[in-house]
């Protein structure tokens, strides 16, 4: 678990990037920080691994203040994936992925063996291991970035707009890969994005931020979609637009679902898993059903 307690960050030029910020980030879940440009998302992320130190307040990991940890060791124990992959251009893929392992003392042979496994984990062909970053597509570079972030098998993975610079199709593939990885690995992921659709897709917890990292709303995707806290959140999630505002319409052919523009989107069907759960609970003998004669 990561906890921000009354954290503020004022940069030397006087900019207040984060003001009195409090948040609990649960372990083994994905928390998405979403907000417009300059709302302090990156600053928050970087305070977790001490790339930025708070001006006041504390950031704790499992109850221990990160200020009490050596910044270099702390940084190597936390995965960090950024936009444009942040790969070292003169290192091959395999060397980029194995750098942290080597810094942590692994032999070259062991580090490379582990790095090859990581290429499998993120869905990259091992044949790419000896290429340089410039010889990869943007999507492949981001996968290498994720492999590198996972190299030290960190409990925490910080992701700063990792899919922001790739085209929409590749972006969607990478999002699906992250969902799969998260199901398999169960890391504590803190993910920063501008994109509310990405936030709703990936987040177990979503934190919507305004300037100065003021929390406008925090909750699960369901909670936020069903109950936007105010007009700002409604506008941000597009609550009244397109597929976010579905309604039922009776037609001569049956009931259909239409979007905010009146375009047909589909029909209502029973959710099979929900129906099965309902049947299961109906089959269990309730208190009144027991006892008999």
Ligand X SMILES: Nc1ncnc2c1ncn2[C@@H]1O[C@H](COP(=O)(O)OP(=O)(O)OP(=O)(O)O)[C@@H](O)[C@H]1O
Which residues contribute to the site for ligand X (CB under 6 A)? 11, 13, 15, 17, 35, 37-43, 194
Side by side, which strands form the sheet with 205-210? 78-82, 156-160, 188-193, 30-35, 205-210, 214-219
CB of 242 to ligand X, least distance (A): 23
CB of 22 to ligand X, least distance (A): 17
CB of 7 to ligand X, least distance (A): 12
- Which residue number, 41 or 148, has a Cβ lying nearer to ligand X? 41
CB of 13 to ligand X, least distance (A): 5
CB of 11 to ligand X, least distance (A): 3
- Which residue number, 66 or 213, has a Cβ lying nearer to ligand X? 213
CB of 122 to ligand X, least distance (A): 24
CB of 138 to ligand X, least distance (A): 18
CB of 160 to ligand X, least distance (A): 8
- Which residue number, 38 or 186, has a Cβ lying nearer to ligand X? 38
- Which residue number, 97 or 190, has a Cβ lying nearer to ligand X? 190
Asked if residue 188 lies in contact with residue 2, where contact means CB atoms within 8 angstroms, the answer is yes
DSSP secondary structure, the chain, as one string: -EEEEEEEEE-TTS-EEEEEEEEEE-TTSEEEEEESTTSSHHHHHHHHTTSS--SEEEEEETTEEGGGS-HHHHHHTEEEEETTTT--TTS-HHHHHHHHHHHTT--HHHHHHHHHHHHHHTT--GGGTTS-GGGS-HHHHHHHHHHHHHTT--SEEEEESTTTTS-HHHHHHHHHHHHHHHHHH--EEEEEES-HHHHHHH-SEEEEEEGGGEEEEEE-HHHHHHS-SSHHHHHHHTTTSGGGS-EEEEETTEEEEE-TTS-EEE-----HHHHHHHHHHHHSPPTTTSS--
Rounded to 5°, angle at Cα 61 from 97 and 35: 75
- Which residue number, 194 or 244, has a Cβ lying nearer to ligand X? 194
C-alpha span between 213 and 222 (Å, rounded): 22
- Which residue number, 56 or 227, has a Cβ lying nearer to ligand X? 56
- Which residue number, 33 or 97, has a Cβ lying nearer to ligand X? 33
- Which residue number, 13 or 125, has a Cβ lying nearer to ligand X? 13
């Amino acid at each position: 678990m990561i906890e921000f307690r009354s954290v503020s960050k004022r940069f030397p030029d006087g900019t207040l990037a984060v003001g009195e910020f409090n948040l609990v980030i649960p372990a083994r879940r994905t928390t998405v920080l979403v907000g417009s440009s300059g709302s302090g998302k990156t600053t928050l992320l970087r305070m977790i691994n001490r790339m930025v130190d708070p001006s006041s307040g504390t950031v704790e990991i499992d109850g221990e203040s990160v200020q009490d940890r050596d910044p270099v060791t702390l940084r190597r124990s936390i995965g960090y994936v950024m936009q444009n992959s942040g790969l070292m251009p003169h290192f091959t893929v395999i060397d980029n992925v194995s750098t942290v392992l080597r810094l942590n003392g692994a032999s070259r042979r062991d580090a490379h063996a582990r790095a090859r496994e990581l290429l499998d984990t993120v869905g990259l062909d091992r044949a790419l291991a000896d290429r340089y970053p410039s010889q990869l597509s943007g999507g492949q570079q981001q996968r290498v970035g994720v492999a590198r972030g996972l190299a030290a098998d960190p409990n925490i993975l910080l992701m700063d707009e990792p899919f922001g610079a790739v085209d929409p199709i590749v972006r969607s593939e990478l999002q699906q890969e992250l969902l799969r990885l998260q199901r398999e690995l169960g890391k504590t992921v803190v993910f920063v994005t501008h994109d509310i659709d990405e936030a709703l897709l990936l987040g177990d917890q979503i934190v919507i931020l305004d300037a100065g990292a003021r929390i406008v709303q925090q909750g699960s995707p369901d909670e936020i979609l069903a109950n936007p806290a105010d007009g700002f959140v409604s506008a941000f999630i597009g609550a009244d637009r397109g597929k976010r505002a579905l309604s039922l319409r009776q037609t001569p052919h049956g009931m259909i679902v239409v979007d905010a523009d009146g375009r047909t989107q589909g029909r209502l069907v029973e959710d099979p898993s929900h129906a099965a759960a309902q049947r299961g609970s109906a089959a269990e003998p309730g208190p009144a059903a027991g006892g008999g004669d």
